[in-house]
Structure 1
Amino acid sequence: MQYQGTLAKMETEFATPIQYYLVFETSFINVNQLIGKRIALAFEGYQCLNCKKHKKIYRQGFCYDCFYSSPAVGDWIMRPELSTAHLGIADRDLDYETRVQVQPHVVYLALSSEVKVGVTRKSQIPTRWIDQGAWQAISVVEVPNRYLAGITEVALKNHFTDKTNWRKMLQHDVLERDLAAERLRVYDWLPDEVKPYFNPSLVEHYTMDYPVTQRPVKVTGLNLDKTPEYSGTLVGIQGQYLIFDDGTVFNVRGFEGYIVRLSIV
């Protein structure tokens, strides 16, 4: 059986275990059903997720021109504290930025390798945590816009990391931490304008169960630019990573905009 299409991050369903789907233009695959099967990946070309042109991908599934023009990849995406739509100030497109920035956002703590602080739109819970491969996650504070979430994240980065060690995450090298207890520590560290939004009794604690049958001892990332063809037996999925029996892992989200042929061999 063979599929072909442009990669975008896998769609997910919060279940036990998490369900994963690769969605192409004319077909989709429940990737969980491929675990235990040998599959082959072949790189066929590029297609920008924004303009749909067959141009080389620059970053995040976008070609160079779209990366520097589309409001969907403004600096405020990675640095929420730079958000200005709540002030009526545009970065690239005020209508788009208002829709995305001026809505409820959550600052959270997640446990994937160690305790990590992050920001997401409330509507993206628990998808954001699944995409990061977190084992557990808990909301810290809910605020009405992305800017307030951003300055909260900046303050809490003095006490928690804001990065996931993806190798440790995939190897299940995880520190033991009580996220509920960690959450109760943060009040004094919050910016003054955010403290009124803190609810000490809020309990929004998720635990994720990933479909993994074998953990890699040594992790090797698959880079389609350097290795355009690869085959291996799929043994698990966590975050946006496909895990293979030889220790190779493939970050689907890292290769958004790449056209691939996927074969079950």
Structure 2
Amino acid sequence: MNYEGVLTKMQTENGSPIQYYLVFENDFLNINQLLDKKIAINFLRYQCLNCSLQKKIYRQGFCYDCFYEIPQAAAWVINPEKSTAHLDIEDRNLEFEKRAQLQPHVVYLANSSSVKVGVTRKNQVPTRWIDQGAHEAIEIVEVPNRYLAGITEVALKDHVSDKTNWRAMLKNDVKEEDLIHWRNQLKKFIPHEVAAYYIENNTETNLQFPVLRYPEKPKSLNLEKTPFYEGVLKGIKGQYLIFEDDTVFNIRGNEGYVVSITVL
């Protein structure tokens, strides 16, 4: 069977295990059903996720021009502390920024390679944790806008990492952590204006990924250098496909690439 379309991050459904779906314009594919099967990935061309033109992808699935123009790629997306919609100050498009920034956000702890702090919109829990390959996570605060979440993350990352080691995550080289203990220890570093939003009595969320075998030495597939690849799928974790020969393919890192996927 053959599927063709522009890559966007896999959609997920939490379960035991998590279900993964690749959604194309005219088709979708449940990736879990491909475990232990040989598949081929063939890179065909680029397609910007914003303008849909066949222009080389620059970052986040967007061409160079769109990346520096559209609000979806503004600095506050990566650095939420730079949000200004709560002050009625426009960055690139105030209407869009108000919709995105002026909604409940969560600051959380997740354990994917080690304990890290992060920010997400409340409606992206637990999707954000799944995308990061975290096998456990817990919310610390729930705030009414992105700016407050951002300044909380900035304060806490002086005391805990805000990065995921993707190789350790994929190898499942992680240790169990008491996230409730971590949350309680970090409480004193929460900014004063956010203290009232601290979540006191919640529990950890545990996540189960569909992986038959973890890679020992993960090597990343680069479609520009290797436009055709085939291998036996052994797992899905985060936004990565894991293959029998230790090749791993980051779907989200290749958004905007048009591919054909063939089940052999």
TM (norm. structure 2) is 0.99
1:54 aligns with 2:54: yes
| Corresponding pairs, count | 264
Counterpart CA distance in 1 for 2:245 and 2:140 is 38
Q: What amino acid sits opposite 2:39 in the alignment?
A: I
Counterpart CA distance in 1 for 2:205 and 2:96 is 30
Q: Which moved more, 1:215-224 or 1:175-184?
A: 175-184
Give 1:195's aligned residue: 195
1:204 deviates by: 4.7
| Aligned residue runs from structure 1 range 127-206, under 5 A | 127-201=127-201, 203-206=202-205
Give 1:74's aligned residue: 74
Match of 2:129, SS state, is helix
| Aligned residue runs from structure 1 range 223-234, under 5 A | 223-234=222-233
Counterpart CA distance in 2 for 1:224 and 1:93 is 33
Q: Which moved more, 1:181-190 or 1:226-235?
A: 181-190
Q: Alpha carbon RMSD of aligned pairs, Å?
A: 0.7
Counterpart CA distance in 2 for 1:145 and 1:103 is 5
Counterpart CA distance in 1 for 2:139 and 2:25 is 35
Provide structure 2 residue ranges, at least 5 long, that are not aligned to the other structure. Answer: none
TM (norm. structure 1) is 0.99
Counterpart CA distance in 1 for 2:178 and 2:205 is 13
Q: What amino acid sits opposite 1:216 in the alignment?
A: P
Counterpart CA distance in 2 for 1:181 and 1:56 is 46
1:17 deviates by: 0.2
Provide structure 1 residue ranges, at least 5 long, that are not aligned to the other structure. Answer: none
Match of 2:210, SS state, is coil
User: CA separation of 1:211/1:48 partners in 2, compared to 1, >3 Å: closer, same or farther?
Assistant: same
Give 1:253's aligned residue: 252
Q: What amino acid sits opposite 2:241 in the alignment?
A: L
Q: What amino acid sits opposite 1:20 in the alignment?
A: Y
1:98-143 deviation digits (Å, cap 9, x = unpaired): 0000000000000001000000000000000000000000000000
1:13 aligns with 2:35: no
Counterpart CA distance in 2 for 1:186 and 1:54 is 46
Give 2:88's aligned residue: 88
Counterpart CA distance in 2 for 1:196 and 1:35 is 46
